[in-house]
Structure 1
Amino acid sequence: MLREFRLPDLGEGLTESEILNWHVGVGDIVELNQVIADVETAKAVVELPSPYAGIVAQLHEPAGTVVEVGSPIVSFEVAVPAGADTGAPEAGAGPVSAKREPTLVGYGAVPDSGGRPARRRRGQAPAADPVPASVPAVVATDSAPAAAPAPTPAPVRERPRSTPPVRKLARDMGVDLTQVQGSGPGGIVVRTDVVRAASPAAETMQTSAPDAAAAPAPPPPAGREERTAISGMRKHTAAAMVASAFTAPHATVFLTVDVTPTMELLKRLRQQPAFEGLKLSPLTLAAKAVCLGLRRFPSLNSRWDESAREIIRFNYVNLGIAAATPRGLMVPNIKDAQALSLNGLAAAVTALAQTARDGKTPPADLTGGTISISNVGVFGVDAGTPILNPGEAGILALGAVRRQPWEYDGAIALRSVMTLSLSFDHRLVDGEQGAGFLSEVGAVLADPALALAMA
């Protein structure tokens, strides 16, 4: 019996994914739960397990194709036990209601009796809507003028398809979705469409330009430019940063700290058996300092819920760690970081970084964060103004540790100095709270023994 497997909803509210590579080919025998493909969502690479045991009969899409959720991607020839119900309706039976079958990575789409959903390849624009067959063509002849069609009332515009986060962004930015032309697959409205509709000035300037200026420029000589399709994680990161910048009023405070005691403590801890094999850096102690500081300044660990008109304050810390990977920026988070010891945080940060570099971060680790840390110091940067991870109230940036002259014990000495930057959502966090939290984190890094008193 032939079984068709459609791309399932991976539990992230996404509408499409890209098939990076297939681990099987036509004619291969597969077992239940065997990994058959690597699929890239907007957040992570997911291993797709087989929902059937059988023989691969057909691969509907090649590697490198962007596929919409619910589109068939592979068919299996599956043996059916004798007497088993094949699911076919009996003769004379009424219509059978569509049913979503559970899979290991979410739920597949409702079976569509009207044919397969449209699919597109990377870089291919969605096909234009065909003229409905019910609209007659008007043909003019020489012998008689064509009759003018009878006037019909203007149709009421329906709200185009969009995801809940996009609808929330539209509400926050005062955009009427019925007036927005979707550029996503199948005409779905995406974040960039909402942002473009909220900032019409650029569009007005373009449409008012002279025709001569609108003429396409000649292409540059070969080798002068390179073009890469915007997809996957880069597209998601761009949309998230635009949404964050337009919805949360950012404020940033800075603090320069003598972290010499932190560097000396880390040097001693690296010699301890309990920390063997773990990467110890100022980030490890900063993670602990953030968890401690949130006890006194919990507003940094909250979320603004516009739809419910509520402020959500978290009694736990899901600590996001920004990670630069070959595929782009990722911010996986450590669940319940407040419950971990310094050793536990070091192990979690080490595992998180390795998993991110390998491209194996599961989608669950990329959602649910409550506050984040970005270690820009590893790139030799002293300070910056980090952009909030969408939905979070604060993000701490760690600058580079530099040896420089510093006032110490009433004299000038060569010390290890670091600049801390804290961006926060000013709807949730007042300046006093933001400055107080940053000072508390800086105090722990300047004197790690304070952590014992605060624990």
Structure 2
Amino acid sequence: MTTMTETSARFREFKMPDVGEGLTEAEILKWFVQPGDTVTDGQVVCEVETAKAAVELPIPFDGVVHELRFPEGTTVDVGQVIIAIDVAPGSGDAPAPAAEPAQEPLAAASQGDGDAPKGRTPVLVGYGVAESSTKRRPRKGASAAPEAAAVAAAVQAELNGHAAPAAVAPAVPAQGGAPDGGRPLAKPPVRKLAKDLGIDLATVVPTGKDGIITREDVHAAAAPAVAPVAAPTPSQAAPEAPAAAVASASARETRIPVKGVRKAIAQAMVGSAFTAPHVTEFVTVDVTRTMKLVAELKEDKDMAGVRVNPLLIIAKALLVAIKRNPEVNAAWDEANQEIVQKHYVNLGIAAATPRGLIVPNIKDAHEKTLPQLAAALGELVTTARDGKTSPAAMAGGTVTITNVGVFGVDTGTPILNPGESAILAVGAIKLQPWVHKGKVKPRQVTTLALSFDHRLVDGELGSKVLADVAAILEQPKRLITWA
């Protein structure tokens, strides 16, 4: 996964790696270091989010952080340099590596005519000024170098919380955020917000100090029907809302950019729903004995230290049903027009996380004992809740369980995880009147739903698998006789 470039004996660059299965881009969620910080080989420097998961990236060498090429919230293509490291600090002046142009450069000073002075420090983290040997294309309508320097000074002063010097403060344009026809002034998070909302910053009227466009200005431009609100004073300013969920106080809508894990989920579900012919079957079953078994296992010394719940028994029941009906564990190879029978079970468990639904899987679940399966389930759930699930943990699944019962739902018609043959939905377990041994009694009852790919699984096979799961949950001793 390590990707780096050696630009000189002193400076080394680290590129955005492909963190999983041919992904082409990742969003920088958080930097853990800043320019001037000392880093060591293997130290995590940032967290990125791909279309599959959030991943921490370690740096592969020692040194001092020279420059961060992109700010948090930026989506970066695989192969682009994201950080430069000075591996020989204190060894005297040496030319720093030339920065790759960022996707949305901010500082007007870095785009002015002529070369930047040697040794000049970046105006903003992630948007460095190019070296004097690097040629820059003049920007149409660009101001002269003194005016560009004035803009840069205003931006730097805003970031430092100080007023810009009066002698160089640019005038606030009457309309739009572009001073003298130049590039509108805005911080990277505000530019990203405008991009997500489809707002042209040149049309936004700035209210920030020294003509800088604020987040509130973008909100106002996105909701033109709302009466303009006076810019808040620093003491009255509300904390900035995350760019992921943007809403004006009086707006009637909230628009949430679809990206990362949620975007991948949407694309995968649409592809699955319109590619694989889904069939869903249902069965309602008395799981009273299973619930008693769960209570007994919680007291068993062999299960000490692991979490025991109904999902554990349901997972084991599905594994036994697959063992009895191995044809259900398969995949459809469209390119070769083949059915691929799997002789292993990577059992997926659908997990709701702050980043959306993910489906990590337990590798070779069919080989695990009940205590081992319980431990694997516990680790899977904990990792998913902490947002630490790796792309590898979500790859290669064969069959999935989704427990909608935790939300109080009776059942559903789940959509197949792409590349898998079946998915079992488990509904809420409720105390209901049930005919047991000829009498109506209160029993623990749930409804199971099995969706399967009808190209791979016909009605008979799907019915056998679902019936076997139900029979085991009704009489858990079958785990011994059928396993």
Q: Say whether the fold is shared (TM-score over 0.5).
A: yes
**Aligned pair partner of 2:55 in 42, 46, 50:** 46
SS for the counterpart of 2:400 is strand
**Aligned pair partner of 2:438 in 397, 410, 428:** 410
**Matched residues in 2 for 1:344 and 1:219: separation?**
59
**Matched residues in 1 for 2:30 and 2:102: separation?**
21
Match of 2:103 in 1: 119
Match of 1:441 in 2: 469
Match of 2:369 in 1: 341
**Matched residues in 2 for 1:313 and 1:118: separation?**
47
1:397-426 superposed Cα distances (whole Å, 9 cap, x missing partner) = 000001011111111111000100000000
**Aligned pair partner of 2:324 in 274, 296, 310:** 296
- One-letter identity of the residue aligned with 2:448: L
Q: Could you tell me whether the CA contact under 8 Å between 2:223 and 2:251 is conserved in 1? A: no
**Aligned pair partner of 2:77 in 41, 62, 68:** 68
- One-letter identity of the residue aligned with 1:237: I
Match of 1:285 in 2: 313
**Aligned pair partner of 2:18 in 9, 30, 51:** 9
Give the Å deviation of 1:278: 2.4
Match of 2:66 in 1: 57
Kindly report which structure 2 residues correspond to 1:100-249, keeping only aligned pairs within 5 A, or say none: 116=100, 119=103, 219=225, 222-249=250-277
**Matched residues in 1 for 2:322 and 2:441: separation?**
32
**Matched residues in 1 for 2:223 and 2:88: separation?**
59
Give the Å deviation of 1:224: 2.1
**Aligned pair partner of 2:31 in 19, 22, 43:** 22
1:245-292 superposed Cα distances (whole Å, 9 cap, x missing partner) = 011000000000000000001011111122233222221011111111
**Aligned pair partner of 1:429 in 453, 457, 466:** 457
Q: Could you tell me whether the CA contact under 8 Å between 1:20 and 1:40 is conserved in 2? A: yes
Give the Å deviation of 1:73: 0.5
Give the Å deviation of 1:37: 0.5
Kindly report which structure 2 residues correspond to 1:296-445, keeping only aligned pairs within 5 A, or say none: 296-445=324-473
Structure-2 change in CA distance of 1:325 and 1:120 (3 Å): farther
Give the Å deviation of 1:117: 7.5
**Aligned pair partner of 1:254 in 282, 294, 299:** 282
Q: Could you tell me whether the CA contact under 8 Å between 1:71 and 1:119 is conserved in 2? A: no
Aligned residues: 330
SS for the counterpart of 1:287 is helix
Q: What is the percent sequence identity of the aligned residues?
A: 54
**Matched residues in 2 for 1:37 and 1:304: separation?**
38
- One-letter identity of the residue aligned with 1:448: P
Structure-2 change in CA distance of 1:264 and 1:49 (3 Å): same
Q: Could you tell me whether the CA contact under 8 Å between 2:70 and 2:102 is conserved in 1? A: no
1:290-320 superposed Cα distances (whole Å, 9 cap, x missing partner) = 1111122222210001112211111010000
- One-letter identity of the residue aligned with 1:62: P
Gaps of 5+ in 1: 83-112, 122-215
**Matched residues in 2 for 1:362 and 1:16: separation?**
16
Matched, 1:35 2:59: no
Match of 1:159 in 2: none
**Matched residues in 1 for 2:398 and 2:17: separation?**
28
Out of 287-296 and 313-322, give the one that drifted further: 287-296
**Matched residues in 2 for 1:437 and 1:219: separation?**
57
Q: Could you tell me whether the CA contact under 8 Å between 1:293 and 1:441 is conserved in 2? A: yes
Gaps of 5+ in 2: 1-9, 92-97, 106-221, 228-249
SS for the counterpart of 1:247 is coil
**Matched residues in 2 for 1:119 and 1:273: separation?**
58
- One-letter identity of the residue aligned with 2:20: G
SS for the counterpart of 2:384 is helix
- One-letter identity of the residue aligned with 1:7: M
